[in-house]
Structure 1
Amino acid sequence: MSATPVDSGTWVRRFHPSPDAGTRLVCFPHAGGSASYYFPVSAAMSPSIEVLALQYPGRQDRRTDPLIESLPELADQIFTALRPFADRPLTFFGHSMGATLAFEVATRFEQVGAPVSGLFVSGRRAPSTHRTETVHLRSDDGIVSELHQLNGTDSGVLGDEELLRMVLPAIRGDYKAIETYRYEPGPPLTCPVHAMVGDADPKATLDEVRAWRDHTTGPFEFEALPGGHFYLNQYQKEIVNRISDHIACAAQPESFPSTRTGR
């Protein structure tokens, strides 16, 4: 793990600081995404749950920061940035690239004997599955075409050529990080894992997402919801409720299901 000093305030956004919250949810954005994507989640969960939204380099207020195009290096830096926040139980939520990144950071917490309370992975196949993808090697137009296909980027950004030129390097860097990532087999997590996906997601089949069950010895749940890669934009309330229910159960471990499910 990286020994490079990390400023937690650079990486973590607290849109609704909740000093009296007994637990925290850490949100990992998708490739090209930013912390502000999770502002509505933070608003919905405050003040009972404090949301920490991660801000990767190269976007918004970190636009001039050097990009990190290695997912393990990103995980190392985020792990270090989150250590000061581990004085309260942490639950992770990550979508797409953010799901794999959340898994890697959760693994690092396990390695130091501080497992997270739960891991929610969305719109991403399990780390042990692999597809050869090369979006990061495409021209700018090719990357924009990919963004249109996934329908997850603000249409105002895609229609503003100057703004698009500003954000494309970060998007390309994120794609490089996730597309060059290779899972290194190791001990599974011990925390509960809840895997979710849109039933028409072109980036992850149902079986690829069900394979997350192999990455934990704890309770596992699988859920497919109607929609494509960004199905979660239509199901924010439902997802917030699922995470809130999980966190409530985490305070009473006997409430977790004793069987591993794969609906």
Structure 2
Amino acid sequence: MSANPTDTSPWIRRFHPADGARARLLCLPHAGGSAPFYFPVSRALSPDVDVLAVQYPGRQDRRHEPCIDSLPALADALVEEVLPWADRPLAVFGHSMGATLGFEVARRLESRGTVPLVLFASGRRAPSRHRDESVHLRDDDGMIAELRALNGTDAEVFGDEELLRLVLPAIRGDYRAVETYRYTPGPKLAAPIQAHTGLDDPRASLDEVRDWELHTEGSFDLHTYPGGHFYLNAQAPSVISTVAKTISGLLDAR
């Protein structure tokens, strides 16, 4: 089945379309992130994996759309966009906020009869591990200080005041979504979970990350790397290699 008719979705970006791939990988950005963050992943995995990078409302070419500042609401909207792509095995990769969103999307997919091939949860504690955080309530200077501390935003953004003003509302909306998220107990995922984390991530301790195992009936695997919350920037080749091998192994096992 060709998925080309759904290429017009404002949510899904295919930087390197791979209609002949055995599997698809849905990639969910971090708070304030956008689809191009996953361009290198798409380039590296194509044509073996068809990478679907998600563009949330409220940023870049969708900047005139209101942000969705609730993770459950975002998951509800996104799952409808994702289902047409489930014509072949679908893996999910999310970093930071994207990992929690990926979990909620996976829950919804499974409730609709589609079990993801695997959920890759990167740079995020397990959904059931709550921390009281309120970055979204800070003023603009406080938000900027947080972004600088996590070292995940392009340096040129901080040097361009006009650009910064454009992106801050989306970043604040994302932080509100992830900081007001509360895990609702329910069935564990049937899909396996593979967690990836930086050893010095101030937002996710190893104990908090290990608890992803509590959210699946399938297998669980944990991979650690040098670095902090955005360990992914420096460790991308290693992470992408692991993701590719995992997807290939799961497909072969079928």
> Normalising by the residue count of structure 2, what TM-score does the alignment of the two structures yield?
0.96
Residue in 2 aligned with 1:140? 140
Pairing of 1:14-53 with structure 2 (within 5 A): 14-53=14-53
Q: Once the 2 structures are TM-superposed, how far is the Cα of residue 253 of structure 1 from its aligned partner?
A: 2.7
Aligned residues, how many? 249
Q: Which amino acid aligns with 2:108?
A: R
1:26-73 deviations in whole A, cap 9, x for unaligned? 100000000000001101111111100000011111010111111100
Distance 1:59-1:234 versus aligned 2 partners, 3 A rule:
same
Residue in 2 aligned with 1:3? none
Question: Secondary structure of 1:141's match?
Answer: helix
Q: Distance in 1 between matches of 2:196 and 2:106?
A: 17
Q: Unaligned stretches of 5+ in structure 1?
A: 1-5, 255-263
Contact 1:7/1:81, CA 8 A, preserved across alignment: no
Residue in 2 aligned with 1:167? 167
Q: Once the 2 structures are TM-superposed, how far is the Cα of residue 233 of structure 1 from its aligned partner?
A: 0.5
Does residue 130 of the first structure (1) align with residue 123 of the second (2)?
no
1:179-205 deviations in whole A, cap 9, x for unaligned? 000000001001111011100000010
Q: Distance in 2 between matches of 1:92 and 1:117?
A: 8
Residue in 1 aligned with 2:116? 116
Contact 1:70/1:176, CA 8 A, preserved across alignment: yes
Contact 1:8/1:82, CA 8 A, preserved across alignment: no
Identity %: 59
Residue in 1 aligned with 2:183? 183
Question: Secondary structure of 2:196's match?
Answer: strand
Contact 1:117/1:250, CA 8 A, preserved across alignment: yes
Q: Which amino acid aligns with 2:65?
A: D
Q: Distance in 1 between matches of 2:190 and 2:242?
A: 20
Does residue 66 of the first structure (1) align with residue 66 of the second (2)?
yes
Question: Secondary structure of 1:18's match?
Answer: coil
Pairing of 1:233-244 with structure 2 (within 5 A): 233-244=233-244
Residue in 1 aligned with 2:196? 196
Superposition misfits of 4+ residues, deviation over 2 angstroms: none
Q: Distance in 1 between matches of 2:113 and 2:194?
A: 21
Q: Distance in 2 between matches of 1:8 and 1:82?
A: 13
Q: Distance in 2 between matches of 1:194 and 1:228?
A: 18
Q: Distance in 1 between matches of 2:92 and 2:144?
A: 29
Q: Distance in 1 between matches of 2:113 and 2:233?
A: 34
Q: Which amino acid aligns with 1:155?
A: A
Q: Which amino acid aligns with 1:174?
A: D
Residue in 2 aligned with 1:105? 105
Q: Which amino acid aligns with 1:153?
A: T
Does residue 56 of the first structure (1) align with residue 56 of the second (2)?
yes
Q: Once the 2 structures are TM-superposed, how far is the Cα of residue 7 of structure 1 from its aligned partner?
A: 9.4
Q: Once the 2 structures are TM-superposed, how far is the Cα of residue 250 of structure 1 from its aligned partner?
A: 1.4
Question: Secondary structure of 1:10's match?
Answer: coil
Contact 1:8/1:81, CA 8 A, preserved across alignment: no
Q: Distance in 2 between matches of 1:144 and 1:112?
A: 39
Question: Secondary structure of 1:128's match?
Answer: coil
Residue in 1 aligned with 2:13? 13
1:127-179 deviations in whole A, cap 9, x for unaligned? 01100000000000000000000000000001111100000000000000000
Q: Which amino acid aligns with 2:92?
A: F
Q: Unaligned stretches of 5+ in structure 2?
A: 1-5
Residue in 2 aligned with 1:257? none
Q: Distance in 2 between matches of 1:107 and 1:87?
A: 18
Q: Distance in 2 between matches of 1:24 and 1:105?
A: 15
Residue in 1 aligned with 2:155? 155
Q: Which amino acid aligns with 1:138?
A: R
Q: Distance in 1 between matches of 2:118 and 2:27?
A: 12
Q: Once the 2 structures are TM-superposed, how far is the Cα of residue 235 of structure 1 from its aligned partner?
A: 1.0
Pairing of 1:213-232 with structure 2 (within 5 A): 213-232=213-232
Q: Distance in 2 between matches of 1:13 and 1:223?
A: 27
> Normalising by the residue count of structure 1, what TM-score does the alignment of the two structures yield?
0.93
